[in-house]
A and B are shown apart, each in its own frame.
Chain A
Amino acid sequence: MRLGRGRRIALAGLAVVAALATSCSTGAGSVSVHAIAPLPPGVLPPTVAGLTVVDEPLNPALYPTRPSFVDAVAFFSLRLDRLAEATLQLDQLRNLPVVRKSSFEEEVADDVGVTTPVALHLDGVPVWVSSGLDQQLWVWFKPGYLAVLAVRTGYPFPRSVLRAALAATP
Chain B
Amino acid sequence: MTGRRVVRALVSCGLCTLLLTACGKGRAEERAADAALAGFGATPYSFVYTQVSMGGAIAVTGTVDDPYRYAVRLFVNGTAVWDEVVVDDAVADRFDDPAEAVAYLSAGKTLSSPTTQGQATALGALQARQWVLDNDGAPPLPQQSPTTRADTDPFYEPLTMAGYALQAVDTATAVELWSPSSLSPTYNPDPFPAAGVGEDRYDLVRAAFPQAGNFLASSRPPPGLAALRELAIYVHAGHLTAIREDVNILARLPELVRDYALDIPSGLTAGAQTALAQGFIDRLDRRTGAAPIEARQVTFTVLGPGAPVNLPTGAISADLGLLAYQGATANPSLPNS
Contact = CB atoms under 8 A, between A and B. Distances in A.
A131 B337 CA distance: 8
A118 interface: yes
A122 B135 CA distance: 20
Given A118-B144, A131-B335, A136-B335, A160 B89 contact: yes
B66 A120 contact: yes
B43 interface: yes
B68 A118 contact: no
B335 A163 contact: no
Interface in A11-64: none
Contact of B141 (A118, A156, A160): A118
The secondary structure that dominates the A interface is mixed
A7 to B, nearest CB: 17
Contacts of B67: 120, 122
Interface string B194-214: 000000000000000000000
Interface in A89-136: 115, 118, 120-123, 129, 131, 136
Interface string A138-162: 0000000000000001001111101
A156 to B, nearest CB: 4
Q: Which range holds the interface residue count of chain B?
A: 10 to 19
Nearest to B40: A121
A157 B335 contact: no
B138 interface: yes
28 contacts: A115-B144, A118-B144, A120-B41, A120-B66, A120-B67, A120-B68, A120-B141, A121-B42, A122-B66, A122-B67, A122-B68, A123-B66, A129-B141, A129-B144, A129-B337, A131-B335, A131-B337, A136-B337, A153-B335, A153-B336, A156-B89, A157-B88, A158-B336, A158-B337, A159-B88, A159-B138, A162-B88, A163-B88
Interface of A: 115, 118, 120-123, 129, 131, 136, 153, 156-160, 162-163
Interface of B: 41-43, 66-68, 88-89, 135-136, 138, 141, 143-144, 328, 335-337
